[in-house]
Amino acid sequence: MIHSTIGSAGHLLIIIAFVTALVATFAYFKSGIARGALAGGTVEETLTWKKFARIVFYIHVAAVIGIVFSLYWIIGNHYFEYHYAWKNSSLSLPTGYTISSFWQDQEGSFLLWIFWNTILGCVLIFTNRSWEAPVMTVFALVQAFLTSMILGVVIPGLDLKIGSTPFLLLKEVMPDLPVYKMDPNFIPKDGNGLNPLLQNYWMVIHPPTLFLGFATTLIPFSFAIAGLWTKRIQEWIRPALPWALFSSMVLGVGILMGAYWAYETLNFGSYWNWDPVENSSIVPWLVLVAAVHTMIIGRRNATALKTAFILTIATFILILYSTFMTRSGVLGNASVHSFTDLGLSGQLLIYLGTFTVVAIGLLVYRWKMLPTDEEEVSTYSQEFWIFIGATVLCLSGFQILATTSIPVYNKIAEAFGTVLNMALPADQVGHYNKFQLWFFSLIIVLTGIGQFFWWKRVGKGNLQALYNPLLITLLISAAVITFKGVKDIQYIVLLTTSIFAIVANGTILLNIIRGNYNLSGGAITHIGVALMLVGILFSSAYTKVVSINNSGLMISRSEEFTNNDNKENKENITLWLNKPEKMGDYMLTWRDVRVEPRHIPGYIPKSWVDIVEGDFHAVALRDIVVNNQKYNSKGDTIEIFPENFYYEIDYREPSGKIFTLFPRVQLNPRMGGIVSSPDIQRKVDKDLYTYVSMVTNPNAEPVWSQTENFTVNLRDTFFVNDYVAILDNVVRTDDVEGVKLNEGDAAVKAIIRILDNDKEFVITPSFVIRDRMVARKPEVSNELGMRIQFQEINPQTGKFTFGVNTTQRDFIVMKATEKPLINILWLGTFVLVIGFILATVRRFKEFIKMRNKENQPTGQAKVKPKVQTV
Amino acid sequence: MKKIQIFGLVIIAVAIGIIVSTAGDASTYVDFTKAKEMAQDGDNESIHVVGKLKKDGMGQIVDMKYQPEIDPNYFVFTLVDNNNVEQQVIYRNSKPQDFDKSEQVVVVGKIKDGTFSAEKILMKCPSKYENGKMETTEHTAAKS
């Protein structure tokens, strides 16, 4: 049965949400206008409109919650008649990840964004009544645009589709599927499932965090617009600042979570790849951080105030631009993980265009009203240094944006009828680093200097307070540079400037923390950033490839390798099953392929189970015992993650200590086939990062050569597949695996010894006579790529015949790198977050204090604006 | 001149510098014929070439070699660009997973001594789930 009710309800709620957002925009606008031009409207009118608007907005909130609930209901109950559920979830998906399938696709991620906006809207209504009308006008308008993206309404006559709804049935999306001709009510039994690459706990929390970051940038933007509109040119900063700080923190954490996921899951070999999708989220963040700084000084300095307006508006527009880039398909070839075009590009452009034009228009219209500085800002003032810092942040963002937008230039040129054919720089990482390294060296120095000026530790003719930190910095830097062997000038600069920032901000921190730790947010955040830079510097610039191929095999390959002094890329090594290979200081052995059971800790050997094809179950071929605990008996069916295979690689350190890594190989048709993920040996001072760069499909059956028969006597030597083999003995046996022997049955097994270079293998094929029938039990050695079957016993000649098939020996190609001091990056991240939290709390307290002060006296005088108690 | 004006000029100068440098670093999409001309002119810039794998009448990929047992860091194949010009491409890294399945390949690199030396390979594979849509994957020959 098709559950059409829930989908219809969801779709209806989307329409309600869209309409209520428009009505709320209008009503809040009316309320704002009446307030702005007191002559035209009465106070009562203002309040009536406001009350009405608020009720409409609450209906909107209820509708959005209803939409979220409906979509989740569809996914959670596995209603695969719906395209969204069919495409993004499956029965086998563990509950935790069904949440992720909610936002795996575009519609769901828009919905997530809409949802956060409604929550934030409610918080604003409750905490800030005096700004409600103008701020919520902007909010509701944004909601109208966002809900229109999931509207999924076709305007009759025009053939114009507005938005794409997640509540479409599969047969509405793919009406041409042949199955619908036979059975119009066909419902798929199972869905396609969530992209296994996203089945990771980071993917459960990263998207909501990132979208909360996106959503929160709307708040400072709304306040800036409201400030311009109601001519409260400076007052908007106080309520906007804590939100701007909160937004920087959430967006920053969201971006870093994505980076950490990439580090753990993708084999880029790094946490940051300068991918256009990553870039388009970091640019608004940089501008937002710059905006925060200008907001802080904007109440005292007119230039900073103007800049605060520009940057706050720019942040939000950049978020829209980034949404456009990642969702319009414009990135096309350029990015690995952008969404595909849903036919929403036009709508996204209108969205982007509207807010750009309205915001900039309003700013230009009010520009004359903005104050100007009477005298020039002094080079020794705090404002000067903070302003410079903000500017460099913006330049850094500008550079990233200029390059990331290359595909957009092509599209624009196309629209004008020319062909540009521009491509992203071939060496993207080098291109960005070339600029960003210097920008960030400058920014991080300015954090230190800025703090000294801010806390008035230095001033005109009084710079000596900076001497001590400078001296300490030089001493520490010299020590680190010598000890760590940093040789390149640009790294020396970045390292020294970062250390200066840590020392300078640390000095300030020590000074102020004794007074009031509430004020220490800035210094702590700066220290966090400086630590992150140090971590990035060492882990990226000093990544060392450990898996240098020195097996000497490539010498056979003519000039290609003898060229260039044999120094061409040799960063991958080949490992044969169970054959130790030297890599750097380690001795490596690939032991086995393992699978991941769902309710048993760790991974179990693939040979223990038989995986049911196309399912997430496997049959145990033996008792499953892990850590001396028996979980399943032979013959049981267990649940596994069928896409994931883990390659057990032993690392023997020079000291003889052995540790094991399990890099993953995932069969992932959604990503084009086989995806490998690293495993990381984490040490305090470095990570050892290992991934498999090539394997044969772990589920593929080996291709055996034609059988070659050998007829030999006992103790004869013969050559199979270039190995020396010796038939040592043929003995009677009572125990043949997989065969039950009854009375009167007989079995013998041959003991064949095979000599490899450094190792001996013993292969024991069996020959069974059971119920007067001959059964032959072959034995396979994956290490040798060989299968031997006991063919015949000739009692007359006393000779034995063996059939031998050979195949490619199992191998993997892997790569390992060392990433020094990467933990400093993660440590810096934590410090950064703590700093942001302290700063947010402090600014929020200030706002509450101010708001209550404003409300107290006016509470009685004016017509009862509700006084909030906090 | 006021300080703020000087400051503004500096910013504009840096911004222009960024734009010029971006334009300089940006690569271009060309075909193999152009790539060969560039190599002959001594132009050392890395370029993007879009093409398809060379296949025989049976749809089997031909002229492709990867022997991990000899050298896992050496992969050779032949790419046919949109003007049907064939070119041997060398990628000094392991063969990208599922390379055989790719419909379209973008190689980034330059022609050296008659062969195209690829620094990076972008592949488009047919997506199993979304009809007619392609998935892009990216592979880089390390050493950045």
Residues 53 through 72 of chain A touching chain B, CB cutoff 8 Å: none
CB A56 within 8 A of CB A23: yes
Torsion sign over Cα A464, A466, A472, A477: negative
Please list every residue in chain B whose beta carbon sits closer than 8 Å to the beta carbon of residue A424.
26-27
Going by C-alpha positions, the residue among A286, A250, A193 that lies closest to residue A832 is A250
The pTM for the full model equals: 0.88
Residues 73 through 132 of chain B touching chain A, CB cutoff 8 Å: 73-74, 90, 92-95, 97-98, 101-102, 106, 108-109, 119-120, 122-125, 127-130
| Residue A859 confidence (pLDDT) above 70 | no
Q: What is the reported pLDDT for A25?
A: 96
> If 0-12 CB within 10 Å is exposed, 13-18 middle and 19+ buried, where does residue B119 land?
buried
Question: What's the rounded mean pLDDT across residues A63-85?
Answer: 94
For residue A553, give the chain B residue with the closest CA: B70
The DSSP call for residue A624 is E
Q: What is the reported pLDDT for A190?
A: 85
CB A308 within 8 A of CB A236: no
Q: What is the reported pLDDT for A500?
A: 96
B69 contacts chain A (CB < 8 A): yes
Share of chain A above pLDDT 70, in %: 92
- β-pairing, A617-620 vs A637-652, is antiparallel
| B139 pLDDT tier (thresholds 50, 70, 90) | low
Lowest-confidence segment of A241-255, A445-459, A475-489 by average pLDDT: A445-459
Q: Given the cut 0.85, state whether the ipTM is greater than it.
A: no
Q: What is the pLDDT of residues A213-255, one digit of tens each?
A: 999 999 999 999 999 999 999 999 999 999 999 999 999 999 9
CB A530 within 8 A of CB A505: yes
**A136, A671, B131 from B128: Cα distances, Å:** 44, 9, 7
Instruction: Tell me how close the Cα of A686 comes to any Cα of chain B, in angstroms.
Output: 20
For residue A846, give the amino acid letter.
E
For residue B95, give the chain A residue with the closest CA: A694
Greater pLDDT, B41 or A38: B41
> If 0-12 CB within 10 Å is exposed, 13-18 middle and 19+ buried, where does residue A388 land?
middle
Tokens encoding B26: 């940006």
Asked whether the beta carbons of residue A427 and residue B119 sit closer than 8 angstroms, the reply is yes
Please list every residue in chain A whose beta carbon sits closer than 8 Å to the beta carbon of residue B74.
554, 557, 560-561
Q: What is the reported pLDDT for A696?
A: 75
| Residue B69 confidence (pLDDT) above 80 | no
CB A647 within 8 A of CB A663: yes
Question: What's the rounded mean pLDDT across residues A840-845?
Answer: 94
User: Which of B7, B16, B18, B127 to probe by mutation at the A interface, max A CB count within 10 Å?
Assistant: B18
A542 contacts chain B (CB < 8 A): no
Q: What is the reported pLDDT for B14?
A: 92
For residue A1, the number of C-alpha atoms closer than 13 Å in the C-beta half-sphere is 4
Q: What is the reported pLDDT for A339?
A: 59
Tokens encoding A205: 């929390």
Lowest-confidence segment of A69-73, A113-117, A340-344, B46-50 by average pLDDT: A340-344
| Residue A558 confidence (pLDDT) above 60 | no
Lowest-confidence segment of A344-358, A551-565, A849-863 by average pLDDT: A551-565
Greater pLDDT, A854 or A605: A605
The DSSP call for residue B94 is P
Question: What's the rounded mean pLDDT across residues A398-418?
Answer: 89
Tokens encoding A497: 């400037």
Going by C-alpha positions, the residue among B87, B3, B132 that lies closest to residue A391 is B3
Instruction: Tell me how close the Cα of B16 comes to any Cα of chain A, in angstroms.
Output: 10
CB B136 within 8 A of CB B127: no
SS3 assignment, position A48: helix
CB B53 within 8 A of CB B126: no
| Residue A46 confidence (pLDDT) above 50 | yes
| A718 pLDDT tier (thresholds 50, 70, 90) | confident
Instruction: Tell me how close the Cα of A117 comes to any Cα of chain B, in angstroms.
Output: 31
Q: What is the pLDDT of residues A167-183, one digit of tens each?
A: 999 888 888 878 888 88
Q: What is the reported pLDDT for A857?
A: 56
A36 contacts chain B (CB < 8 A): no
A171: Cβ contacts below 8 Å, ≥ 6 apart: A81, A177, A180, A184, A186
CB A746 within 8 A of CB A768: yes
SS3 sequence of A147-167: HHHCCCEEECCCCEEECCCCC
> In DSSP terms, which residues pair with B7 in a beta bridge?
none
| Residue A197 confidence (pLDDT) above 90 | no
For residue A411, give the amino acid letter.
K
- The overall average pLDDT reported for chain A is 86
CB A455 within 8 A of CB A511: yes
| Residue A563 confidence (pLDDT) above 90 | no
CA atoms of A737 and A761, how far apart (whole Å) = 19
Domains along chain B with CATH numbers: 28-140 (2.40.50.140)
A693 contacts chain B (CB < 8 A): yes
Question: What's the rounded mean pLDDT across residues B110-131?
Answer: 71
Going by C-alpha positions, the residue among A442, A478, A479, A448 that lies closest to residue A466 is A448
Asked whether the beta carbons of residue A571 and residue B98 sit closer than 8 angstroms, the reply is no
User: Which of B22, B50, B105, B135 to probe by mutation at the A interface, max A CB count within 10 Å?
Assistant: B22
Lowest-confidence segment of A295-304, A475-484, A552-561 by average pLDDT: A552-561
Task: Considering only the beta carbons, identify the residue of A192, A403, A671 that sits closest to B135.
Answer: A671
The single residue listed with the structure tokens 């909501």 is A208
CB A605 within 8 A of CB A621: no
Q: What is the reported pLDDT for B42?
A: 81
- Here the contacts of A2-9 (C-beta below 8 Å, separation 24 or greater) are A2/A81, A2/A169, A2/A185, A2/A187, A3/A74, A3/A77, A3/A79, A3/A81, A4/A169, A6/A70, A6/A73, A6/A74, A6/A79, A7/A70, A7/A74, A7/A82, A7/A167, A7/A168, A7/A169, A8/A167, A9/A66, A9/A70
Q: What is the reported pLDDT for A646?
A: 94
Q: What is the pLDDT of residues B17-27, one digit of tens each?
A: 999 988 888 88
CA atoms of B134 and A672, how far apart (whole Å) = 9
**A206, A401, A488 from A319: Cα distances, Å:** 17, 12, 36
For residue A868, give the amino acid letter.
Q
Q: What is the reported pLDDT for A749?
A: 87
CA atoms of B58 and A787, how far apart (whole Å) = 32
Asked whether the beta carbons of residue A376 and residue B3 sit closer than 8 angstroms, the reply is yes
The single residue listed with the structure tokens 């680093």 is A433
Q: What is the pLDDT of residues A96-149, one digit of tens each?
A: 888 888 988 889 999 999 999 999 999 999 998 889 999 999 999 999 999 999
Tokens encoding A510: 């020590």
User: Which of A421, A539, A544, A808 to probe by mutation at the B interface, max B CB count within 10 Å?
Assistant: A421
Q: What is the pLDDT of residues A411-434, one digit of tens each?
A: 888 888 888 888 888 888 889 998
CA atoms of A747 and A736, how far apart (whole Å) = 8
Q: What is the pLDDT of residues A583-635, one digit of tens each?
A: 888 899 999 899 999 889 889 998 899 888 878 899 998 889 888 888 998 88
Greater pLDDT, A506 or B44: A506
Q: What is the pLDDT of residues A794-805, one digit of tens each?
A: 888 888 999 998
Please list every residue in chain A whose beta carbon sits closer than 8 Å to the beta carbon of residue B45.
426
Lowest-confidence segment of A41-55, A276-290, A754-768, A847-861 by average pLDDT: A847-861
CA atoms of A591 and A222, how far apart (whole Å) = 59
Please list every residue in chain B whose beta carbon sits closer than 8 Å to the beta carbon of residue A427.
46, 119, 144
Going by C-alpha positions, the residue among A101, A82, A89 that lies closest to residue A166 is A82
Q: What is the dihedral of CA A568, A562, A695, A271, to 10 degrees?
A: -10
Q: What is the pLDDT of residues A296-317, one digit of tens each?
A: 999 888 889 999 999 999 999 9
CB A564 within 8 A of CB A554: no
Q: What is the reported pLDDT for A781?
A: 85
